[in-house]
Amino acid sequence: MDDGTTDRAVTYGSYLRVDDLLALQQPRSSAPEHDELLFIVIHQVYELWFKELLHELDRVRALLTANDTHRAQHTLKRILTILKVLVAQLDILETMTPLEFLSFRARLEAASGFQSDQFRQIEFVLGAKNDKAIRRFPEGSRARSALERRYGEPTVWDAFLQYLSREGYAVPQAALRRDVTAKIEASPELQATLIELYRKDPKNAEMCERLVDLDEGIQEWRYRHVKMVQRTIGAKPGTGGSSGAQYLATTLMTPIFPDLWEIRSRL
Ligand code: HEM
């Protein structure tokens, strides 16, 4: 009988590459400092969730392009659930005091979440693109190739606008043919269409609400991250070279899909 331990049989450990996974946490402090493992684990878990989010966001875009709103909404629900977990995880890191962080902070040298290419990829696929973010990564690297590819691709918002147009809505040509590398600008014409949609079309209004949830979820993460940064390092500069919490505060309250927020005061 196969006891599951032979080379041939798939086991929990072999399928999930548990040995490889557990070898990936390498503290840099020499003692090592107790809290550095938590810091590494949290960041690695984030990167895994970022990978899954990108996988699901690509699917939402493809499902919208295929006019499959039912499954697009289902996938959006999963994305939102993951975002809640991402925000909740910050609570764990907040159990680390400023002094505990300081015990190993110098070992991070210039490393910072600012350099997370997957976070930038999420911004790109949603529509918040910035070519400077691409040039920070070495040419030919995995990160740079992924960012370059996503920079030229239509965003989730573009897929949504094309879908609305196919549904018969008056989406301005300028929005349908916009440069997909540019920032998503608010459009009063599109807002008039969205207001009509909200009043008459519960199915598509529901889809808009899920996009607002997504936008709010990212903003919520940004807010909780900056509060965590303030309580952990105060007004000190970041390891990534920015002014720290002061820089992060400039990224708050900026919606990804501005039209979906603008219409609210007129509904
Ligand atoms: C003690 C914990 C943390 C501190 C003190 C901290 C601090 C900072 C600071 C100061 C910045 C600004 C850039 C810089 O100069 O470094 C930053 C950016 C960033 N951090 Fe953190 N961080 C922490 C945890 C995390 C975690 C767990 C993640 C999850 C991946 C993360 C992801 C990011 C991202 C994505 C940015 C770029 C944000 C943007 O440019 O909009 N950080 N962090």
Q: What's the pLDDT tens digit per position in 245-258? A: 999 999 999 999 99
Could you tell me the CA-to-CA distances from 95 to 30, 38, 49, 113, 239 in Å, in that order? 22, 10, 21, 19, 20
What is the predicted pLDDT for the residue at 8?
81
Q: Structure tokens of 52?
A: 């899954």
Q: Which of 46, 55, 60, 87 is nearest to 218 (CA)?
A: 87
Q: Give the pocket of ligand 1 (CB within 6 Å).
A: 42-43, 46, 93, 101, 112-114, 116, 119, 225, 228-229, 232-233, 238-242, 244, 247-248, 251
CA 106 to chain CA mean position, Å: 27
* pLDDT computed for residue 30 by the predictor: 86
Which one of 82, 218, 225 would you pick to mutate in the ligand 1 pocket, going by the greatest count of ligand atoms within 8 A of its CB? 225
CB distance 118 to 26 below 8 Å: no
The atom number, within ligand 1, closest to the CA of 123 reads 41
What proportion of the chain, given as a percentage, has pLDDT over 90? 96
Q: Which of 45, 59, 126, 53 is nearest to 92 (CA)?
A: 45
pLDDT in tens, 165-179: 999 999 999 999 999
Length of the chain measured in residues = 267
pTM value > 0.85: yes
C-alpha span between 14 and 2 (Å, rounded): 15
Answer whether residue 231 shows pLDDT above 70: yes
User: Would you say residue 202 has pLDDT above 80?
Assistant: yes
Cα separation values, 131 from 98, 122, 136, 182, 239, Å = 34, 14, 9, 10, 22
Q: Is the pLDDT of residue 29 over 90?
A: no
Gap from CA of 47 to ligand 1 centroid (Å): 13
Are residues 111 and 36 in contact, defined by beta-carbon separation less than 8 angstroms?
no
- How far away, in angstroms, is 198 Cα from ligand 1 center? 37
